Structure 1
């Protein structure tokens, strides 16, 4: 069984992707940036963007029947690696229980105001 999850972001329809895909008990959450989707604004600071991205991911996981505690893999993409340490307190709190395998990659993102993108893979507990 395959389930597609959307946040309603205009980017999902425009680009052609789902926020998350659930397949065979696995949840694959697309790279998620720090937009505040309620206001459709991007905060200036990397910390706020990191928090927003994790909140969006958490909502998608919940809809899939999982949580941040079920994440087994996380990828962080940051354009400026010097900003990455500012996110550590946020990510260590979010993944305190899961302690997933993690990678940080430094690369340009789609828009210059984007300071972090986060992608996760989780396993639904009942799978």
Structure 2
């Protein structure tokens, strides 16, 4: 668990490392400083909050988004939110250095979120 990290919504670790690979649990758009506050409005704001939470977890293990090799994105309103999520998501990475990614439409996410993202990173 990462001190000061987002409050887990289920029994899991923020990240687990094995042989230099770091598996970051899917993060929700909750505010670590106010975990009971309402979620941000709309998928763009929720994506930004999720990415900030992922950065927080990565920093807690001494890594950053530049170490991410794979991302999985889960959207509850795939057709409606795909373009807006992509626009926000893309802005967190250096142009031309995006990780591999899968994006999946799902029927629901914890805490009523519109988006959840998990990551795989590699320690240099």
What TM-score does the superposition give when structure 1 sets the normalisation length? 0.83
Q: Is the 8 A contact 2:16 2:22 kept in 1?
A: yes
1:74 is displaced (CA, Å) by 0.3
Q: What is the RMSD computed on CA atoms of the aligned residues?
A: 1.8
Partner of 1:93: 91
> CA deviation digits over 1:2-31, x for unaligned, max 9?
xx54625152xxx21011112221111111
Native 8 Å contact 1:64 1:124 kept in 2: no
4+ residue runs of structure 1 moved beyond 3 angstroms?
Answer: none
How do 1:34-49 residues align onto structure 2 when only pairs under 5 Å count? 34-40=29-35, 41=37, 42-49=39-46
**Structure 1 gap ranges (5+):** none
Which consecutive unaligned segments of at least 5 residues does structure 2 have? none
| Distance of 1:47 and 1:38 partners within structure 2 | 20
For residue 60 of structure 2, give the secondary structure of its aligned residue in structure 1.
helix
Q: Determine which of 27, 31, 51 is the counterpart of 1:32.
A: 27
Encode CA deviations 1:21-78: one digit per residue, 9 max, x unaligned: 1222111111111111212221121111101111111111111121101100000000
Question: Between Structure 1 and Structure 2, how many residues are aligned?
Answer: 119
* TM-score relative to the length of structure 2: 0.85
